[in-house]
Amino acid sequence: MDAEAAKLIAAGLCMGIGALGSGLGEGFVGGKALESMARNPQMSDKLFTNMIVAIALAESTAIYSLVVSLIILFVF
């Protein structure tokens, strides 16, 4: 295997695993937030705000893996 093929495989694995973790985290946060909103509707405004912040933090993992995969592709 030459270096170019190794770079492509590494970038693909980096992005795939990073997006998988981010997707699972966002789904878990969203599902639990909706479950708690259904149990206590009076708190839904505060829960929704906290859910958006938590989903943004979970999405940052996918953005970091995108940056790392772009560095792998274009720097090395």
50-67 tens-digit pLDDT: 999 999 999 999 999 999
Domains in the chain: ranges and CATH: 23-74 (1.20.20.10)
Residues, the chain: 76
Residue in this structure with the two tokens 């405004």, named with its chain if needed: 45
Query: Which amino acid is residue 8, in one-letter code?
Result: L
Per-residue pLDDT band for 1 (boundaries 50, 70, 90) equals confident
Phi, psi (deg, nearest 5) at residue 46:
-70, -40
Q: What pTM does this model have?
A: 0.78
Query: Which amino acid is residue 46, in one-letter code?
Result: K
14-45 tens-digit pLDDT: 999 999 999 999 999 999 999 999 999 999 99
Rounded to 5°, the CA angle 73-57-55 comes to 110
